[in-house]
Amino acid sequence: MAEKAAAEGAADEPMPAYGTPETIHAHGAAAGAPVPVPSKAGRNLPAALAVGFGLGLSLIAILLFAPLVFIPFAATGIGVATWEVAKRLREADVLVPRIPLILGGQAVFWLGWPFGAEGVLAAFAFTALTCMVWRLFDHGMRTAPRNFLRDTAITVFTLAWVPLLASFATLLLLEEDGNLRVLTFMILVVCSDVGGYVAGVLFGKHPMVPSISPKKSWEGFGGSLVFSVIGGLLTVTLLLEANSMIGVVLGVGLVVVATVGDLIESQIKRELGIKDMGTLLPGHGGIMDRLDSMLPSAFVSWLVLSTLV
């Protein structure tokens, strides 16, 4: 996670209108003011690494020694991430109903514990309907809402993007050896991030989608594939004691969806004109900035491991 944050950093940030980093540095030096030169990564790399390792070790300890603690731990992160997205959207005059979205998102995530996929689906449908009604009447009975279709569509998108995809981590956890399954998918996402960062920095020359994420290269994607497939072979074989080819399928699948998850959030931030969804994690941005690849990976991991293991 820390490596991805460092690798992408400034790449997804809208270019400032007042000049390039070089001209800003030159003007600052001419004025006699010390101007820090941006790192190649575009972020505070030591802070990003410290936060990333701290979170990673905490999650490993929880999954190994107190697996059910993962649910409230993750639910807190999902709540904060949903709030970050809703805040940024409302700053852009997209009036998503925050209260039912955040509370309903928690219901979507938590109800997978006692009721499984049926509980998740029921909570999602009920929350979506509640958000529609809330937005319809949030200005009273005598005032017609403005941009109702746009706002409710984006609200349902946010509900699916964050709490619904995250709920598959709960479903995965509740299966046999669920803590090891969750640990497997998290290790593979980190492998994808590390492989993409290393290969991208060392060999990256051919951008994948320069209009969305200029620093994401095909060489980095190849590095993600290599690291994630190796990680999949090792974790599926050693942790889950399953067929090693399942690790290959899972590794490839997670690289694809993790990359798409990164690109989706990058495009959303570009349209909103922001660098990060939040500022809670030094060197990383917000909670949502660390979950963009984890969320679709949780679903694909649940799908692959529930079907093949």
| 256, 266 Cβ separation under 8 angstroms | no
Distance CA(190)–CA(182), nearest Å, equals: 13
Q: What are phi and psi of 35, to 5 degrees?
A: -115, 120
**Assigned domain for 28 exists:** no
Name the pTM for this structure: 0.83
Identify whether 18 is part of a domain.
Answer: no
Using CA atoms, how far apart are residues 118 and 10, in angstroms rounded to an integer? 41
In this structure, the number of other CB atoms found within 10 A of the CB of residue 8 comes to: 28
For residue 192, what are the domain limits? 2-12+40-308
Task: Report the candidate in 211, 216, 189, 185 with the shortest Cα–Cα distance to residue 270.
Answer: 211
Alpha helices in the chain (DSSP H): 2-8, 21-30, 45-65, 70-91, 98-110, 112-137, 148-159, 165-173, 178-203, 218-238, 244-272, 287-291, 294-308
Place of tokens 């990256």: 204
110-121 pLDDT, tens digit per residue, is 999 999 999 999
Each residue's pLDDT tens digit, 180-217:
999 999 999 999 999 999 999 999 999 999 999 988 99
How far is Cα 248 from Cα 236, in angstroms, rounded to an integer?
9
Cβ neighbours for 149, distance < 8 A, ≥ 6 positions apart = none
Burial class from Cβ neighbours inside 10 Å (0-12, 13-18, 19+) for residue 176 reads: exposed
DSSP string, 220-265: HHHHHHHHHHHHHHHHHHHTS---HHHHHHHHHHHHHHHHHHHHHH
30: in domain = no
From first to last of its 309 residues, the chain has per-residue pLDDT tens of: 444 444 444 334 443 333 333 333 443 444 444 444 444 445 556 666 666 677 778 888 999 999 999 999 999 999 999 999 999 999 999 999 999 999 999 999 999 999 999 999 999 999 999 999 999 999 888 889 999 999 999 999 999 999 999 999 999 999 999 999 999 999 999 999 999 999 999 999 999 999 999 889 999 999 999 999 999 999 999 999 999 999 999 999 999 999 999 999 999 999 999 999 988 876 567 899 989 999 999 999 999 999 999
Specify if 87 maps to a domain: yes
Does 23 map to a domain? Answer: no
Cβ neighbours of residue 131 under 8 Å, at least 6 residues apart?
Answer: 96, 97, 100, 101, 104, 152, 155, 156, 159
Report yes or no on 189 lying in a domain.
yes
Question: Does residue 158 fall inside a structural domain?
Answer: yes
Residue 100 lies in a domain: yes
Number of domains in the chain: 1
